[in-house]
Amino acid sequence: MTFGQQNSLPESFQLLDRAFNAGINFFDSAEMYPVPQRAKSQGRSEEYFGRWIRDRKIPRDRVIFASKVSGPSGQMTWIREGPKCLDASNITEAVDKSLLRLQTDYIDLYQIHWPDRYVPMFGETEYDPIKQFCSVSIEEQLDALGRAVDAGKIRYIGLSNETPYGIMKFLQVAERLPGYPRIVSVQNSYNLLCRNFDSGMAECCHHERVSLLAYSPLAMGILSGKYLSPDGGPADGRLNLFKGRYSEGASRYNISNTIIKQATAAYLEIAENYGIHPVSLAIAFVLRHPLVASVVFGATKLWQLQEVVDACGVKLSPEIVADINKVHSRFPNPCP
């Protein structure tokens, strides 16, 4: 999501090379990336990934590529006038344009970035029925996705930023209407500061065999500890660099929030007590979850990528997990 904004094409290639050579083969993007979203940069992240595959002559079956169609926004007027909705024509156009940017035959996993209905997201916690708007039926969305699957344009489908209701409705419709594709994954935020998934979502995913792709495992870099430094963290850190321009950063990951600072400091203390790098603590915590299929993280520098790669080999002891849960009971989900 940083390729084409924070990272140039050569820098993106370096990061992809290092990740691939380290054994990472799952890459996630979206039609709206990079962020913060702008008309002149929209789609570059997909384009850069496609160019990398071709330039490095990587066999297509060696990588698993995921992308997403944007839900209704009204703010990104350069993407299908908003987008206004997730009807069949919008989904079909989004798939075709992503394939054109990628210059590849298919997308392995295609996800709905956020629902075509009102749901509390990005820091909101309470559902307000008054905010509901007229939305496109799930039947129409699945029909369009199913046609893309049948055409060989995408292989599997998933959801993102979803709720238990949304997951079960998509599964219900797919079960009721033979031939419609079944969702295989949901990409939601999950980290030490946001464990909302463990409530209703986890039960749904467990019984329905839907995997979690956990995004923001470092809470947009907060759990690395860099924003707790006296100087407020590096100037090129995303929360500093795009302050006031990135809505999720302001609503969910507000580093001026005292509770977020206290919770983060407590997790950093655990890492120090056990001699573990803070990044390792955060990544290992997410990877130990039995429903997590993959961790979706972002890195703009090679050393950041290496920290995450190193973290993948770390296992947390029962004592560390117990200490983590004590902090969670004191500061439950400050970044919902």
Instruction: Provide the annotated active-site residues.
Output: 33
Evaluate whether 12 touches 52 at the Cβ level (below 8 Å).
yes
Reduce the DSSP state of residue 225 to 3 states and report it. Answer: coil
CA distances from 94 to 73, 194, 197 (A): 15, 30, 28
Own/partner pairs for 299-308, CB < 8 Å, 24+ apart? 299/15, 300/2, 300/6, 300/7, 300/11, 300/15, 300/236, 300/238, 302/14, 302/15, 302/18, 305/15, 305/18, 305/19, 305/22, 306/18, 307/224, 307/277, 307/279, 307/280, 308/279, 308/283
What is the spatial distance between Cα 122 and Cα 253, in angstroms, rounded to a whole number? 9
What is the spatial distance between Cα 171 and Cα 182, in angstroms, rounded to a whole number? 6
Within 10 A of 54 (CB to CB), how many other CB atoms are there? 12
CA distances from 279 to 151, 232, 304 (A): 41, 18, 9
What is the spatial distance between Cα 316 and Cα 284, in angstroms, rounded to a whole number? 7
What is the spatial distance between Cα 87 and Cα 160, in angstroms, rounded to a whole number? 17
- Is the preceding omega at residue 36 within 30 degrees of 0, hence cis? yes
- Name the packing angle between helices 138-150 and 88-102 (round to 10°): 40
Evaluate whether 161 touches 114 at the Cβ level (below 8 Å).
yes
Which residue in 77, 98, 73, 105 sits closest to 86, CA to CA?
73
